[in-house]
């Protein structure tokens, strides 16, 4: 079982980094192999909107993008993984540009005929909801603002998963990022650890059913 963590804050020792590290430790405690991508350290260019990745090479697990950066290597691992953690701070009531840039490049996971102007892009390798993902969002706005600050972020990430046929297991909003006491941080890290544990358990449970 392989779980990938995508950390969408530019601060590599910040709150998101700590939560993702804890969640991946939780997954490891259930025997999963894990890998963390700090997106700020990856070379991920902006999508240029050419649609080549979607329209061409429908037989491949992900489409060929003309941009030569780290994305092909990441997607290679992505299609082989069993579960994902996506984490982002709220920036201007949405996900960070860093994470959004990566999500847009994930377009290569889909295909569509050029002539088809009606249907949504389809997943090249449908996951049949056997893969799962957990989403973390942190904000300076306190926990009571989860709906205002967290939900737009969760929705942006979830729409891709709906198309990929990946189930979302947990959505975790951590508010009050700038007034985090040591005690509360430890509590939130524990919750993140348990989310990592649950992610592996939920994937295993789903696979036992089939």
- The residues that touch ligand FMN, with contacts defined as CB under 6 A, are 9, 11, 14-16, 89-93, 138-141, 149, 177
Question: In terms of CB distance, is 67 or 135 closer to ligand FMN?
Answer: 135
Alpha helix (H) residue ranges in 14-164: 15-29, 52-55, 71-80, 97-105, 151-164
Rounded distance, CA 165 to CA 125, Å? 9
**Cβ distance to ligand FMN smaller for residue 111 or 172:** 172
Q: Quick one: 65 or 141, whose CB is closer to ligand FMN? A: 141
CB of 205 to ligand FMN, least distance (A): 30
Nearest distance in Å: CB 7, ligand FMN: 8
For residue 74, which of 120, 42, 47 has the smallest C-alpha distance? 42
Sign of CA dihedral 29, 193, 38, 165: positive
Residue closer to ligand FMN by CB (options 68, 92) is 92
Closest CA to 104 of 168, 156, 35, 29: 156
What's the closest the beta carbon of residue 178 comes to ligand FMN, in angstroms? 6
- Residue 37, CA distances (Å) to 2, 7, 111, 113 in order: 13, 6, 25, 32
Whose CB is nearest to ligand FMN?
Answer: 14
State which residue, 83 or 176, has the beta carbon closest to ligand FMN: 176
Q: How far is the CB of 136 from ligand FMN (least distance, A)?
A: 9
Phi-psi region of 85 (alpha: psi -120 to 50; beta: other; left: phi over 0): beta
Q: How far is the CB of 105 from ligand FMN (least distance, A)?
A: 21
């Amino acid at each position: 079982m392989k779980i990938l963590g995508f950390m969408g804050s530019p601060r590599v020792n910040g709150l998101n980094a700590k939560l993702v590290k804890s969640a991946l430790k939780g997954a490891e405690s259930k025997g999963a192999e894990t890998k963390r991508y700090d997106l700020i350290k990856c070379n991920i260019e902006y999508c240029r909107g050419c649609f080549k990745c979607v329209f061409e090479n429908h037989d491949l697990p992900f489409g060929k993008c003309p941009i030569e950066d780290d994305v092909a290597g990441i997607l290679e691992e992505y299609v082989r993984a069993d579960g994902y953690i996506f984490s982002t701070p709220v920036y201007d009531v949405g996900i960070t540009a860093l994470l959004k840039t990566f999500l847009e490049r994930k377009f290569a996971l889909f295909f569509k005929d050029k002539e088809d102007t009606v249907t949504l892009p389809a997943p090249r390798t449908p996951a049949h909801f056997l893969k799962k993902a957990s989403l973390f969002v942190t904000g300076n706005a306190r926990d009571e603002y989860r709906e205002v600050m967290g939900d737009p972020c969760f929705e942006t990430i979830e729409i891709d998963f709906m198309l990929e046929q990946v189930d979302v297991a947990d959505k975790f909003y951590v508010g009050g990022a700038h007034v985090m006491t040591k005690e509360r941080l430890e509590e939130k890290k524990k919750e993140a650890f348990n989310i990592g544990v649950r992610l592996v358990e939920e994937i295993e449970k789903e696979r036992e059913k089939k």
